Amino acid sequence: MPINEAKLNEFLGRAVGDLGAALSATLVLVGDRLGLYKELAEGPVTSVELALRTGTNERYVREWLGNQGAGGYVQFDAQANKWFLNPEQALCLADPNGPVDMPGAYNIVEATFHALARTLDNFKTGKGMEWGEHHACLFHGTERFFRAGYNANLITSWLPALDGVVEKLKRGAKVADIGCGHGASTVLMAKTYPKSTFIGYDYHAESIRTASQRAQAAGVANAHFEVADAVSYSGQAFDLIAFFDCLHDMGDPVGVSRHARQALQSDGTAMIVEPFANDSVADNLNPVGRVMYGASSQICVPVSLARNGPALGAQAGERRLREVVVDGGGFSHFRRATETPFNLVLEARP
C-alpha cells in the first residue's frame, strides 16, 4: 500500500508531540513537588535564582526549564534570560486551591504507571483491580484534581441547577455523598451550608480516615464519614444524594441507583456528576474523550470488573446512564441539569 507522505508527516508530528508530553509528565510532578511552579509564579527568575530559592541543583533546573518552556508550560524572556509563569499558567500550575489543578491530574497519570503490570494482566485475562489496590498517589491526585473542579463549579453552578435543592440546603437538609473519597466535595458543601448535615460514604477505609482528618482540619462539624459501599449504607430520608464521578465505576450501578431511590425522601434529589461524554463513540474521539478513555481503561473499568460489574466506563454517556438510573434504578425523573467541558451534571428524582 502506497504511503501518503503528508498523512505520514501529520501523524509523526502528533506522535512526537505526544512523546514529548509523556516524557514531561514526571517533570510536571517535579515542578509541583519541589515548588518550582510556585516560585515562578512570584515573578521572573534566572535558572540560578530559581535553584537558590527552591534548594535545588541549577543544572537540573536549567534543563527542566528548557523542557517546560518548549512545552508551553512556562514563559522565557530571552533578552533578560529569565523564566516566569503568565497568569493563566500560574492559575493551572501553582494554585492548588484554584479552579484548575493540573499537577493533581499528573498524580493520576503517575498511578497508571504504578499499575502497569496489573493493567497488562487485566487486558489479557479480563480481571479487574479494586480502587484500594492502586498506589496512594491516585487517591491524592484524584482529590486535588477534582477538588479544583468542585471549587469552580459545585456551589456556584451545579447545585443551583438542581430544582429547589439550594433552598433546602440553606434551611437545613440531610445529604449523602456517595463514593466521597477524601471528602473534598463533602467538606466544601458542609462549609457552605452549615445548617445542613452531610454524611460521606466510601468503601475505601483509608480514604474515609483521610476525609475525617480533612473535615477536622477545616473546622467542619456538620459532616462525618462512614465506611460503606454504595448499596449498603444505612442512612435514610436524605434530601440530596450526590455521586461525584463514581457511578460509572460501580460494580452494581443499577443496585446503587435503587438503593439511592429508597434512601431519598419522596421529594429528594440525586445529583449524578459524570465525566462529559456523548452517546456516540465517534463523537467522543476528541481530546477530552482521549483523557477519559485513558483513565477509564486503566482505573474505572477495572474497578467495576473487580466486582463483576458492567464496566460502564468514564464515557458511558447520558443515554446509558438514564437506562441505569431510570429503567434499572426506578427513578421517574431524569434530566441534564448543566454541564462543563469535563462533566455532565444529571438530576434524578423519585
CA distances for 12 relative to 16, 92, 220, 291, 294, angstroms: 6, 28, 52, 20, 20
CB 256 within 8 A of CB 69: no
pLDDT exceeds 90 at position 233 = yes
**What whole-number distance in Å separates Cα of residue 11 and Cα of residue 58?**
36
What's the whole-number mean pLDDT along residues 322-336? Answer: 98
Percent of the chain with pLDDT over 90: 98
End-to-end distance of the chain based on CA atoms, in angstroms?
A: 58
DSSP state of 156: I
What's the whole-number mean pLDDT along residues 309-326? Answer: 98
The phi, psi pair for 348, rounded to 5°, reads -125, 140
Question: Which residues share a beta bridge with 20?
Answer: none
Residues in the chain: 350
Residue spans of beta strands (DSSP E) within the chain: 75-77, 82-84, 174-178, 197-202, 223-227, 238-244, 264-275, 333-339, 343-349
CATH 1.10.10.10-classified regions of the chain: 5-93
Mean pLDDT of the chain: 97
pLDDT exceeds 90 at position 34 = yes
The phi, psi pair for 69, rounded to 5°, reads -65, -40
Q: List the CATH code of the domain at 102-349.
A: 3.40.50.150
pTM of the predicted model as reported, rounded to 2 decimal places: 0.93
The pLDDT, as a whole number, for residue 98 is 83
Per-residue DSSP letters for 157-212?
Answer: IIGGGSTTHHHHHHH--EEEEET-TT-HHHHHHHHH-TTSEEEEEES-HHHHHHHH
**What whole-number distance in Å separates Cα of residue 41 and Cα of residue 65?**
14
CATH 3.40.50.150-classified regions of the chain: 102-349
Dihedral of CA 89/92/97/100: which sign?
positive
pLDDT exceeds 90 at position 195 = yes
| Closest to 273 (Cα-Cα) out of 151, 146, 163, 166 | 146
Burial class (CB in 10 A: 0-12, 13-18, 19+), 135: middle
The residue to which cell 535564582 is assigned: 49
Provide the pLDDT confidence category of residue 1 given band limits of 50, 70 and 90. Answer: confident
| Closest to 346 (Cα-Cα) out of 275, 249, 268 | 275
pLDDT exceeds 90 at position 96 = no
The pLDDT, as a whole number, for residue 171 is 98
pLDDT exceeds 90 at position 229 = yes
**What whole-number distance in Å separates Cα of residue 210 and Cα of residue 258?**
28
What's the whole-number mean pLDDT along residues 190-204? Answer: 98
SS3 102: helix
pLDDT exceeds 90 at position 276 = yes
- What are the helix and strand counts (H, E) for the chain? 15, 9
Percent of the chain with pLDDT over 70: 100
CB-hemisphere CA count at 13 Å for 38? Answer: 13
The pLDDT, as a whole number, for residue 184 is 97
pLDDT exceeds 90 at position 296 = yes
The pLDDT, as a whole number, for residue 42 is 97
The pLDDT, as a whole number, for residue 263 is 98
Residue 115's contacts (CB-CB under 8 Å, 6 or more residues apart) are 129, 134, 135, 298, 299
The model's pLDDT over 148-175, given as tens digits with 9 standing for 90+, comes to 999 999 999 999 999 999 999 999 999 9
| Closest to 119 (Cα-Cα) out of 316, 315, 301 | 301
Provide the pLDDT confidence category of residue 78 given band limits of 50, 70 and 90. Answer: very high
What's the whole-number mean pLDDT along residues 241-248? Answer: 98
CA distances for 88 relative to 92, 102, 152, angstroms: 7, 12, 15
The pLDDT, as a whole number, for residue 2 is 86
Residue 311's contacts (CB-CB under 8 Å, 6 or more residues apart) are 300, 301, 304, 305
Fold of the CATH domain 5-93: Arc Repressor Mutant, subunit A (1.10.10)
